[in-house]
Structure 1
Amino acid sequence: MKILYTNFHAGPGLGGHNTYIASLAQALRARHQIAVAVPASSSLFAAAQDMPGVQAHAQDYPTRFGPMLAALASMSRLLREQQYDIVHVNGSSDHRLVALACLLMKRPPKIVFTKHNDIPVKPVGAALRSRLGTDHVIAVCEHVARRIGDSPYRRNGISTILNGVDVDFYRPADEEQKAALRLEYFGHKAHGKIVLGSNAGTDDYKGWIDIVRALAKLPRPMADRFHVALAGGALGNAQMAEVDALGLAGHLSYVGQLPDVRPFLNAIDVGFVLSYRVETISFACREMMASGKPVIVTRYAGLPENIDPGRDGWVVPPQDPASLSELLKAIADGTHDIAAMGRAAREKSVGQFGLDKFVSATEHAYQALLAS
């Protein structure tokens, strides 16, 4: 097959969309002709250039009419010249542009659309894209499949294919390595403490501030048993002002945007993804679990689909620091065996979250579509 992946994100962070595409491109490039068409400023563009056999095309997906015409001409030219079998789109902007470009073709490629987030589907736009520029839809979790099933996209057929991670790439470190990494990332601030960490992002909707608010509700000696660690984009001024106001600045380490999060994940004890909108199933959650960490998630969208509560993680209400505080109290009291839960998280990851299952299911969806 000749497959083109598109994505509109232009920033330097890898993010869920880019992780998704990079994983598929890396795995399928040995068996198929793979290309990506993304903004030149995207981290995915650089990643694709480093993948032998993968073609990287600089392509923007503007929303303003004038720039959109130039982008449409560029996409139309690419599709005519390359004659792809499948174009796999991953957001509304690239989906719209690809659909318009395909309208001008006598033999257009099949268009596969992955719904990555929990942003509501706009009925009018979805109806147009469904009828004019979609041949199949992939949902990244059961929650998204239900949402898409109630939208115009149900006419295109839906495959539920849960995101997979490379469980050989993400794996636990031994205790000696972990101790060294903790010292490297957190210095002596986390010595003897339970480190609550996340690489799920630092946008407001990621809800990371709720873990700090939960600590503030604990008796101070108990709060002092925890340290919070964050990897990702810059923290907001309002959030940091609140951390300072709560008197917990010394309980927080921010390590920035990391090119490789594995050492950071191996330095923490418990992961968390506390999103309250947009999120679906979270690559970050699965990366933490593959690294042998139990994860706290909110009861939002597809996040609970990752967790067997009390065995490999916990599920709490979104935006509810009081409930989160009660959980942290139980963790501090030793109610939960964190090491055993981490082993269970790793075991589940190997059995259910592996990259092979994710890639083969996606490849099968392409093959079935071309055979129909």
Structure 2
Amino acid sequence: MGRITLLHTEASNGWGGQEIRILREMMGMRERNHRVLLVTTPWTAIHERATSCGIPTFSLPMGAPHFIQAVVRLVVIIRRHRVSLVNTHSSRDSWIGAIAGKLTGVKVLRSRHISSKLNTSPLTKALYRHLCHGIVTTGQFIRNQIVEELGVKPDRVFSVPTGIDVERFRGGNPRDVRRELGIPEEHAVVGIASVLRSWKGHLELLESFRGVVDTRPAVTLVIVGEGPRRRVIERKTAQLGLQGNVILTGHRDDMERIIQLFDIAVLSSYASEGIPQFVLQAMAAGKAVVGTRVGGIPEAIEDGVTGLLVPPRDPAAIRDAIVFLLDHTDKRHLMGQAGYERALAEHTTSLMLDRMESVYYALGVQ
């Protein structure tokens, strides 16, 4: 397709899978000769990172007191930069972007990244049905939510799973990271990487891990990420007597190194998941994954093939899955290889960008 100007909006001040995908999309589309712009609230992680990548970025207060001003300023940006499509990502910026799009005659694409409970009020239905020209979701589960709960026509809702740089997560020497973190050579390593939020299920994972350590003490749980639940997780670790078997690394920008250390990857979420980037990264690295049957996780993990699926908030089931994979090295390796092949076939950055360009084409964006 011809060169278009894409304006992304993001009101979130966090840095997680959603923001990482937005930045990856923008950089990928720029490499395909499209022009990309970003509007965010002030002083956010994505603003800083996008600016450092050379993406033109605008700060716009989006709270309720600034709503009208935000719409007016966004209209100015859209007209001044001859924007072809506004792609919104969170609730506040979606309202601002949708109204600005209506006022300027520019099409609006709403991206929905998570599978949390939808607001089904008449206003929300109006936003999705009438103010947005299309909806992109990160998985089929979320697409079904939009169609069934908000009544959006199916031909206007597109599932475009997140893509990753698969080869980035291949190879590497885990010994360096093992030494850095002080993990004994004889220990197997179970790992999780996510923002430390309640619904990521870290507390349930810790309860399950207590049972793992009781029968297989030579194992370490590595928790990668930062967030508001860190203190709670630290207290739970101490209450369970797991200080010698659990390491919290904080945020890491070198996931391709950290993930090589893991023998088993785990994602214990009990809500709000699309297709998580950590699951795809682990698959790309050839790791068997234990995941919960939540949101889009089962779309990435094929039970018994690329990993094991367990019910959410079930520490005993998580424990049993981890123990099974620790005890069955051959099956673990076969699942890891199958995960790599699936990531390569279905979840590359290139494929994600192809699918997004197809959405633009379907919306008639020029």
Normalization by structure 1: what TM-score? 0.90
- What are the residue-to-residue correspondences of 1:259-298 with 2, within 5 Å? 259-298=253-292
Q: Return the letter of the residue paired with 1:229.
A: V
Cα 1:131/1:219, change in 2 over 3 Å: closer
Do structure 1's residue 172 and structure 2's residue 171 form an aligned pair? yes
Aligned equivalent of 2:116, options 90, 97, 119? 119
Aligned to 1:332: 326
Q: Give the SS at the match of 2:340.
A: helix
Do structure 1's residue 102 and structure 2's residue 98 form an aligned pair? no
Work out whether residues 182 and 267 of structure 1, in 8 Å CA contact, stay in contact via their aligned partners in 2.
yes
Q: Structure 1 runs of 4+ off > 4 angstroms? A: none
Q: Which moved more, 1:112-121 or 1:124-133?
A: 124-133
Work out whether residues 330 and 336 of structure 1, in 8 Å CA contact, stay in contact via their aligned partners in 2.
no
Aligned to 2:294: 300
Do structure 1's residue 356 and structure 2's residue 356 form an aligned pair? no
Normalization by structure 2: what TM-score? 0.92
Tell me the distance in 1 between the aligned counterparts of 2:211 and 2:36.
51
Work out whether residues 99 and 132 of structure 1, in 8 Å CA contact, stay in contact via their aligned partners in 2.
no
How many Å apart are 1:120 and its aligned residue?
2.2
How many Å apart are 1:72 and its aligned residue?
2.4
Tell me the distance in 1 between the aligned counterparts of 2:71 and 2:213.
59
Gaps in structure 2 of 5+ consecutive residues: none
Cα 1:199/1:215, change in 2 over 3 Å: closer
How many Å apart are 1:334 and its aligned residue?
2.7
Gaps in structure 1 of 5+ consecutive residues: none
Aligned equivalent of 2:221, options 216, 221, 228? 228
Q: Return the letter of the residue paired with 2:7.
A: L
Aligned to 1:91: 90
How many Å apart are 1:371 and its aligned residue?
5.9
Aligned identity (percent) is: 20
Q: Give the SS at the match of 1:83.
A: coil
Aligned equivalent of 1:147, options 145, 151, 174? 145
Q: Give the SS at the match of 1:322.
A: helix
Aligned to 2:38: 36
How many Å apart are 1:103 and its aligned residue?
3.5
Q: Give the SS at the match of 1:275.
A: coil
Aligned equivalent of 2:178, options 182, 188, 193? 182
How many Å apart are 1:49 and its aligned residue?
1.8
Tell me the distance in 1 between the aligned counterparts of 2:334 and 2:150.
44
Please, what is the CA RMSD of the aligned residues? 2.0
Q: Give the SS at the match of 1:227.
A: strand
Tell me the distance in 1 between the aligned counterparts of 2:285 and 2:259.
7
Q: Which moved more, 1:27-36 or 1:232-241?
A: 232-241
Work out whether residues 51 and 57 of structure 2, in 8 Å CA contact, stay in contact via their aligned partners in 1.
yes
Aligned to 2:17: 16
Aligned to 2:209: 215
